[in-house]
Structure 1
Amino acid sequence: MDSYVCDAIILAIKSGIIEFVFEMLEKNPDLVWTRDQRNRNIFSLAVLHRQAKIFSLLAHHLKNALTCSVDVNSNGMLHMAGMSAESTMLNRIPGAALQMQKELQWFKEVEAIVHPKVREATNEDGLTPRELFTKTHEAMLKSGEQWIKDTARSCTVVGALIVTMMFAASFNIPGGNKQDTGLPIFLPKGSLMVFIISDALSLFSSSTSVLMFLGILTSRYAEDDFLTSLPTKMIIGLSTLFFSIATMMITFSAALLIMLRQQSWIVNPIICLAGVPVTLFVMMQFRLLVEMSISTYGPGIFGRKIKLTFN
C-alpha cells in the first residue's frame, strides 16, 4: 500500500477531515487496515484524537480484530480512550468539569464497543485502560473540581441573597394591611396577586438552587460523579437560579405598580430596567447551561449506539 496514501489518511483522521476519509475508504476499503509508525490503527487514532464523526463514519468497517489490536507499547483502543486527549476538540468545551465529563463519555462509549477481554488488558507499564485514564486525568479532575466548586460557591451566594430578600418581602406587603382584618389593603388588585405569586416562586426556586449548589459543594468528586451526578445538580441549580432572578424582578415590578400606579412615567422605565439583570445572567450563563444539558442528556458521543458481536 502506498505510504503517501497511508500518511494522508492518518493525517486526515487526526485533523478530522471527514470528507477526505470518506472518499478514500470508498475508493479503497483496504485502507481500514492502515497503521501509523507506532502500529496504531485508524480507529485507535480516531479515539486518541477524539474525532467522533470520523469514528462514527468508520464504525461499519470495524472488525473484532481491530478492537483487540495494540500499538508498540501494548496500548489498545480502550487505552487510547484513557489517554489525555491529543486534540483541540476539548478546548472548545467551556469549563474543566465539562471537559472531564466529555473524556468520561468517550471512555464509556469505547468501553461498550471493544471486546470484554480488552477492558482488563494491561500495557507495557502494567496499567489497565481505567488505571491509565485515572493517571492521565489527575490534573483535569482537580481542575474540574475547582471549577465546579468556584461556580457553586458564587451561585450559592446569589441564591442565598434572593432567599433572604424574598422571605422578607413576603411579610412586607406593598400598601400594608387593614387594621381590622389584617388582610392586605390592595388585595382586590391583580398586581398584588402577581406580587404574592412571583415572590413565592422566587423564594422556592432560589431555595432549591441553594440546596443544589450545597449538594455540589459536599460531593465526593469521584471520577464518575462528573459523568451525570454533578452536571445534573449544576443544571438544576442554574435553571432554578435563573428562574428565581426572573421572578424576583417580576415581584419588584409588581410592587412598583401597586405603590406608584398613578405614576406610569416613572414606573414603566424602571420596569424595563428590571429586565437588565435577567438579560445579563442569560448572556453569561445560558450558553453554559445549554451545552451542559446537551452534553449530559444529548444523543451521546457518536450520536448512535455502535454494537459489535463477539464470537
Structure 2
Amino acid sequence: MIESYPQVIEYISNDEENILHVAIGHRQRDIYRRVKKMEVIMKCRLVSQIDKNGDTLLHHHVRKIIPSHYIMHCNNKGKTADELFQDTHADLLKLAQQWIKETSQSCSAVSVLVATVVFAAAYTVPGGNDASGRPNFIDSPFFVLFTIMDVISLACSLTSVVMFLSILSSPFEYENFKASLPRKLIIGFTLLFFSVTTTMLSFAATIFLLLHFQKKAWTKTLIYTAAFLPVSMFALMQFPLYAAFNKLLRTLTNKIEKKVYPQKFLPPYLRTKKLNKLS
C-alpha cells in the first residue's frame, strides 16, 4: 500500500498518531524499515510528530532516528521516554535478571565440571605408559586426536567459565540487556557446546585406542552412539540461541560494512549523485 499510495504515510489517527507511531506500537518492523528508507524531509516530519498523550517516537522505544533534543521531552504525565520505559518494563527486568543469573550459574557449574574431567584425563593416558614413561599408543592417530580434543575442550570450558562469571559480575541494567549480556551468554553457550563436543570426541578416541583390535561391528556402533548422542541432543536444545547468535553476527557485520563502505548502503539516487560528483 505504501508503494502504491505513498500519501498514506501522512495520515493521522484519532489519537494524533502517524504511521510510525502505529507501526512501532504494534511491532511492525517491515513498515518501520520502509518508512526509514524514505526521503529525509518526509522522514523528519514523521519522527518529530507528538501524539495526543504528548508521546514522541522515543516514548515508543525508538532512539536512533529521532532528533537528540527530543530525548528530554516529557509527555502529559511528566515522564521522559526513559522513565516511561523503565516503569513499563520494571517487572520484566526483574524476571530477566533472575533468569540470566540462574542460567549463568548453572552453565558455569557445568563448564567447571567439564574442565575438571578433561584436566584429569590429560594425566590419565589411555593405554598406560612404558617403563620410560612414554605412552604406549603415542604413535597412533587416535592418541593424537585424543590429545588435541582434550586441549581444545579444556580451553573452551575454562573460557566459558570466564564468560559466565563476567555475566554474573555485570550490572544488570536495561542497556546491558540490549547487546552486552546476550552476546556474553551466547559466546559462553557456544564455548560450552564446543567443550562438550570435544570431550565426547576425546572419549571416543580413547575407546578406539582400547578397542581398535576388536573387529566387531557392535563396538563401533556403541562408540558412535555414546559419542554423538549427547552432543546432538545438546545442539537441538540450544538451536534457537545459535540462530540468535547468527543474527547478531549479521547485524555486527552490516554495521562494520556501513562504516567501511558507507556508499554501499546509500539509496540508489544518492549513490548515483555521489558517483557523478567523484567522476
Q: TM-score, with normalisation over the residues of structure 1?
A: 0.75
Residue 167 of structure 1, aligned match among 96, 107, 119: 119
Unaligned runs of 5+ residues in structure 1 are 1-20, 82-109
Task: Name 2:193's counterpart in structure 1.
Answer: 242
Out of 65, 69, 72, which is 1:113 matched to? 65
CA contact (8 A) 2:164 2:185 kept: yes
C-alpha distance in structure 2 between counterparts of 1:296 and 1:234, whole Å: 14
Residue 53 of structure 1 pairs with residue 49 of structure 2: no
Cα deviations by residue, 1:170-227 (Å, 9 ceiling, x for unpaired): 0100111112x21111111111111111111111111111111111122211111112
Residues 16-70 of structure 1, C-alpha deviations (whole Å, 9 max, x = no match):
xxxxx335xx23x332221222111111111122211011122316432322221
Are 1:70 and 2:50 counterparts?
Answer: yes
1:285 match: 238
**8 Å Cα contact 2:35/2:43 also seen in 1:** no
Please state how far the C-alpha of 1:250 moved relative to its aligned partner: 0.9
Alignment of 1:1-311 (within 5 A): 21-22=1-2, 26-27=4-5, 29-59=6-36, 60=38, 62-81=42-61, 110-179=62-131, 181-265=132-216, 266-273=218-225, 274-295=227-248, 297-298=250-251
Amino acid at match of 1:279: S
Q: Structure 1 pair 296/257, CA: closer, same or farther in 2 (3 Å)?
A: closer
Cα distance in 2 for partners of 1:295, 1:113 equals: 21
Once the 2 structures are TM-superposed, how far is the Cα of residue 136 of structure 1 from its aligned partner? 1.2
Deviation, 1:263, is 1.6
Q: 8 Å contact 2:59–2:80 — kept in the other structure?
A: yes
Q: Report the 3-state secondary structure (helix = DSSP H, G, I; strand = E; otherwise coil) of the residue aligned with 1:263.
A: coil
Structure number with greater CO (CA < 8 Å, separation at least 6) is 1
* Rounded Cα–Cα distance in structure 2 between residues aligned with 1:155 and 1:237: 8
* Cα distance in 2 for residues equivalent to 1:237 and 1:64: 41
Per-residue CA deviations over 1:101-152 (Å, capped at 9, x if unaligned) read: xxxxxxxxx3221122211111011111122112211122112222222222
Deviation at 1:296, TM superposition (A): 6.3
Counterpart amino acid of 1:77? Answer: L
Paired AA for residue 167 in structure 1: F
Q: Residues of 2 paired with 1:43 and 1:118: CA distance? A: 16
CA distance in 1, matches of 2:245, 2:175: 16
Q: 1:144 to 1:155 in 2, by over 3 A?
A: same
Question: In 2 relative to 1, CA 241–268 (structure 1 residues): closer, same or farther, beyond 3 Å?
Answer: same
2-structure distance, mates of 1:130, 1:258: 61
Tell me, which stretches of 5 or more residues in structure 2 are unaligned?
259-263, 268-279
Instruction: Measure the CA separation in 2 of the matches of 1:159 and 1:260.
Output: 29
Please report how far the alpha carbon of residue 276 of structure 1 lies from its aligned counterpart in structure 2 after TM superposition. 0.3
Question: How much identity, in percent, do the aligned residues show?
Answer: 35
Q: Runs in 1 of length 4+ with deviation above 3 angstroms?
A: 303-307
Distance 2:244 2:172 in 1: 21
